[in-house]
Amino acid sequence: RGEAAGAGQAPPELHLPKKPLKPCCACPETKKARDACIIEKGEENCGHLIEAHKECMRALGFKI
């Protein structure tokens, strides 16, 4: 059919067993925004970012 050899196959690194995701490494975007807000404005003023990070963590299967 004119397809390149190996076309449609996943790269070899995708076949390796995945290490479990650690909470410290999950959701880096929401974690960074949350942490910056807490440092600048204090925890009591960043509830929306804290909740966004919790939602992201829950979506990845963490029990928060």
Binding-site positions for Cu cation read 24-25
Tokens of 18: 């995945």
3-state secondary structure of 52: helix
Binding-site residue set: 24-25
10 to 16, 17, 21, 24: CA distances (angstroms): 11, 14, 21, 28
